[in-house]
Amino acid sequence: MNHARPPAAPALENVNVIGFDAMPTPAEVHARAPLTAKAAETVARGRATLRAILERRDPRIFVVAGPCSIHDPVAALDYARRLGRLAGELTETMFVVMRVYFEKPRTATGWKGFINDPRMDDSFHIEEGITRARQLLLDLAELGLPTGSEALDPLSPQYLADLIAWYAIGARTTESQTHREMASGLSTPVGFKNGTDGALDVAINAIKSAAHPHSFLGINADGRTAVVRTRGNAHGHLVLRGGGGRPNYDSVSVKLAERALVKAGLAPNIVVDCSHANSLKDPSLQPLVFADCVHQIKEGSISIVGMMLESHINPGNQPIPEDLSQLAYGVSVTDACIGWDTTEELLRRAHAELAPVIAQRRATRS
């Protein structure tokens, strides 16, 4: 009698997976850093103001300023206090939103951001990162400062989105159907960046797609897989960040983008990212890009509704050292930023130059 064992079935699932670490549910993370009345008011006011700017009911522009990425919550709060005080001086012409980016898209390797690797040592304590990120957003909202972030991981908004006033979809993910579907359900206005090659089509198609209802797989507050059904997001807009080796913030590029949006049946709402390819990743060029946009607004452009700046307490950037105690305070560990002194000077100068323009808009609309 043949008692040979049948051959073992080949492994077909999780061949390259070495573990599954449990994550806290969105509800559990919310309970660790619960939304307060003050924070809720900040977020609601921020979203309402941004919608009003996009709908031309508020004549001001909005400015999203802050570090390329968050790696030190203490320095982030220091920056936020400075930005909050400055924002109070600029309120007649600008609505200021702090850039708070926790996730970094990578084409190869590198630090993936505070949520993925909060200890900056490749230990990837994502459960810690998501909780600390939420706490920082709560602290910022408690200061009265609305925040903007990039929606990169499709699950992160369930943990954080109630504390965010504005989202961006990055150049590498604007073409992704997953991110277009996610954007259709976000409760904030969403800026879609043009492709890394500089083309506008992917962003315009993304705005159109996100404006429609979608159904897709996601998670609910209890961490259960769910079919997410959305109504569509009516406040998608275009973010020009340059690409293909050239900037696209100049008046001709802005006019062409405006025409492309109108041709597609979309509102001609354009935000200019003063960093990335528009500054050729040279932070010293960001003020020139910003000043050019201010000049276009002074010359009558109404399609530029906002600008983005990569700004930190101190200028430049730094590599992540093996000994984290050697990190310089308030200096980016990703893309190089302009420093606080430059940021303050830039925004104050723009405020003075835009005051007559915004006043004229108010008089015309009243």
Model confidence pLDDT, tens digit, residues 49-58: 999 999 999 9
Among candidate residues 305, 286, 283, the one with its CA nearest the CA of residue 354: 305
Rounded to the nearest integer, the mean pLDDT of the chain is 96
Q: Which tens digits make up the pLDDT trace of 191-235?
A: 999 999 999 999 999 999 999 999 999 999 999 999 999 999 999
Q: Which tens digits make up the pLDDT trace of 137-172?
A: 999 999 999 999 999 999 999 999 999 999 999 999
253-280: average pLDDT: 98
pLDDT on residue 122: 92
Among candidate residues 125, 180, 133, 184, the one with its CA nearest the CA of residue 156: 133
Could you tell me what percent of the chain has a pLDDT over 90?
94
Q: Among 101-105, 312-316, 347-351, which stretch is predicted with the lowest mean pLDDT? A: 101-105
DSSP, residue by residue, 18-58: --------HHHHHHHSPPPHHHHHHHHHHHHHHHHHHTTSS
Q: Which tens digits make up the pLDDT trace of 300-335?
A: 999 999 999 999 999 999 999 999 999 999 999 999
Residue 11 has pLDDT above 90, yes or no: no
38-60: average pLDDT: 98
In the chain, the domains with their CATH numbers are 26-50+63-365 (3.20.20.70)
94-105: average pLDDT: 94
Residue 95 has pLDDT above 90, yes or no: yes
Residue 5 has pLDDT above 80, yes or no: no
* Both structure tokens of 71: 């790696």
Given the structure tokens 């993370």, which residue do they identify?
Answer: 29
pLDDT on residue 169: 98
The answer to whether 278 and 248 are in contact (CB under 8 A) is: yes
pLDDT on residue 9: 78
pLDDT on residue 3: 65
Residue 109 has pLDDT above 70, yes or no: no
pLDDT on residue 10: 81
DSSP state of 148: E
Q: Which residues of 250-272 are buried (b: 16+ CB within 10 A; e: fewer)?
A: beebbeebbebbeeeebbbbbbb
Residue type, 164: I
pLDDT on residue 223: 96
pLDDT on residue 27: 98
Give every CB contact of residue 144 below 8 A, 6+ residues apart in sequence. Answer: 38, 42, 84
Could you tell me what percent of the chain has a pLDDT over 70?
97
DSSP state of 6: P
Q: Which tens digits make up the pLDDT trace of 173-196?
A: 999 999 999 999 999 999 999 999
Q: Which tens digits make up the pLDDT trace of 69-87?
A: 999 999 999 999 999 999 9
pLDDT on residue 247: 98
pLDDT on residue 110: 81
38-44: average pLDDT: 98
Residue 314 CA: distances (Å) to CA of 66, 67, 288 = 11, 10, 19
pLDDT on residue 215: 98
pLDDT on residue 105: 74
Distance, C-alpha 86 to centroid of its chain: 21
Residue 1 has pLDDT above 70, yes or no: no
Residue 236 has pLDDT above 60, yes or no: yes
The answer to whether 293 and 269 are in contact (CB under 8 A) is: no
pLDDT on residue 106: 63
- Tell me the pTM: 0.95
